[in-house]
Amino acid sequence: MADAARDVADRMAEAARAWLDSLDGGRREAAAGPTPGAGGAAEAKAGVGSETEAGSGSASGSGSGSGSASERTRWYYTPTDHGGLTFHQQRPAQHRLAMRLVASGLSEAGYVTVATVLGLENVLDRVEDFSVNWGRERTRDPGMYYLRVFGEPGGRLPWGWRFGGHHVSLNNLVVDGRVVATTPFFLGADPAASPLLGGATLRPLGTAEDMARELVRSLRPESAARAVLLPRAPNDIVAGNSPRVDDRVIKRAELWRPGTHTPDRAEHPSTGLDGADRRALALTPAPRGVPGAELDSVQRELLRALLGTYLDRVPAGVSPLARYDDPAALDAVHLAWAGSTTAGEPHYYRLQGPRLLIEWTNVHRGVNHAHAVWRDPETDFGGDVLAAHHAAHHANGR
């Protein structure tokens, strides 16, 4: 696994260097961020709701706050300024090199899914009759995806990269020549289902929905009663785009970079939940729902397959999926649900366990708008690994 993580890191470094070397001074400045700091947790803490470092954003894609420590842990999944260099700011050959870097952090299936989500911007534009106007030249825009490299690729210091735009956020960190973090990893789909010729349907994330529904519907009544935490679904994933997973209400405005388009009811909770409903779905250190330990063999097999729809997004050499070959690890994964278990009706689910948080929701646009995120609460953005690296190097006087 360690050698495989190094191989993936080497491919990332080669692709990142090639992309950066293709850029001129101004573009390279927008594409480059600071070396990841001594403590990812400190970066994340600084990034929570910090508008002073984020600045006003930039519709051109340069991204504000590129030199601030907290910028690396500031992430979004809305069509806002994600920080970095957009496709529009690159020549076709540079755009190709950018996609080569993106591909280096993905499995083949993961890359195809990401590329499909990017293309859905054109589909969504048609769904909305090409009419949505947020004050920029094009609102639903497959060219508004941003790439930024933090630090020196392949150097002795930690480095990483981030790629994001509407319904995509990829965050990667390399320390001591190995990929040590690939989360948060967000994918969404709007529309979640689209017609194809011949009566087929395009559903980029459909398996993650279908497997979870099959699993919750297979539970015994007493287990199902514990799994379904709330009879209605939240409007969005509970953790939102928080730099750290904790029990904090995410406001809708926080899903957008300050100074860019602000959604209606910006100060409302992004989930739309408050009071007792919010408490019922709150993220707690002890996972809620039904643990894998209570599932039968068929259900456990389905649970592991469901985990694969998230953890197989990245190359096998850095995916933690093999961890769940250990029955004890699968035992500790809890399934929780909110909303209806009937297909076509609003719903939410999460899988939670040690070093794992997966959230899914499909509520809006007639239950045709999906969000799906995979996180590692202990080391999103590589916080703990960065802290250990920093401590070891300082202890050695380096």
pLDDT tens digits for 300-356? 999 999 999 999 999 999 999 999 999 999 999 999 999 999 999 999 999 999 999
Q: Is the model's pLDDT at 233 over the cut of 60?
A: yes
Q: Is residue 390 part of a domain?
A: no
Both 334 and 261 in one domain: the answer is: yes
pLDDT of residue 43: 60
For the entire predicted model, the pTM comes to 0.93
Q: Is residue 109 part of a domain?
A: yes
Cα separation of the two ends of the chain:
27
Q: If pLDDT is split at 50, 70 and 90, which confidence band does 357 have? A: very high
pLDDT in tens, 139-151: 999 999 999 999 9
Q: 361, 315 in Cβ contact below 8 A?
A: no
Both 253 and 123 in one domain: the answer is: no
Q: Is residue 398 part of a domain?
A: no
Instruction: Count other C-beta atoms under 10 Å from residue 367's C-beta.
Output: 19
Question: Using CA atoms, how far apart are residues 278 and 247, in angstroms rounded to an integer?
Answer: 10
Both 114 and 211 in one domain: the answer is: no
Q: Is the model's pLDDT at 186 over the cut of 90?
A: yes
Q: Is residue 397 part of a domain?
A: no
Which DSSP symbol is given to 91?
-
Question: Using CA atoms, how far apart are residues 284 and 325, in angstroms rounded to an integer?
Answer: 25
Q: Domain limits at 179?
A: 2-155+162-187
Both 221 and 348 in one domain: the answer is: yes
Instruction: Count other C-beta atoms under 10 Å from residue 197's C-beta.
Output: 5
Both 136 and 201 in one domain: the answer is: no
Q: Is residue 53 part of a domain?
A: yes
Both 37 and 78 in one domain: the answer is: yes
Both 122 and 213 in one domain: the answer is: no
Farthest-apart Cα atoms in the chain, separation: 66
Q: Which amino acid is at 105?
A: G
**Which residues, 6+ apart, have CB-to-CB distance to 221 below 8 Å?**
none
Q: Is residue 392 part of a domain?
A: no
Q: 386, 37 in Cβ contact below 8 A?
A: yes
Handedness of CA 209, 212, 218, 223 (dihedral sign): negative
Both 222 and 321 in one domain: the answer is: yes
Which DSSP symbol is given to 36?
P
Q: Which helix (H) or strand (E) holds 210?
A: helix 206-217
Both 236 and 176 in one domain: the answer is: no
CA-based nearest residue to 334, from 298, 308, 295, 371: 295
* % of the chain residues with pLDDT over 90: 86
Count of domains observed in the chain: 2
Worst-scoring range by mean pLDDT, 12-26, 27-41, 100-114, 348-362?
A: 27-41
Question: Using CA atoms, how far apart are residues 349 and 336, in angstroms rounded to an integer?
Answer: 6
Q: Is residue 357 part of a domain?
A: yes
Both 242 and 171 in one domain: the answer is: no
User: Nearest 5°: phi and psi at 243?
Assistant: -65, -30
DSSP 320-386: -GGGGGSHHHHHT-EEEEEE--STTS-EEEEEEETTEEEEEEE-HHHH--EEEEEE-TTTGGGHHHH
Instruction: Count other C-beta atoms under 10 Å from residue 133's C-beta.
Output: 9
Both 138 and 257 in one domain: the answer is: no
What tokens appear for 261 in the block? 């388009």
Task: State mean pLDDT over 242-246.
Answer: 94
CA-based nearest residue to 375, from 1, 90, 77: 77
Q: Which amino acid is at 132?
A: V
Both 227 and 129 in one domain: the answer is: no
Sole residue written with tokens 């859905």: 120
Question: Using CA atoms, how far apart are residues 206 and 194, in angstroms rounded to an integer?
Answer: 11
Q: 202, 273 in Cβ contact below 8 A?
A: no
Q: Is residue 299 part of a domain?
A: yes
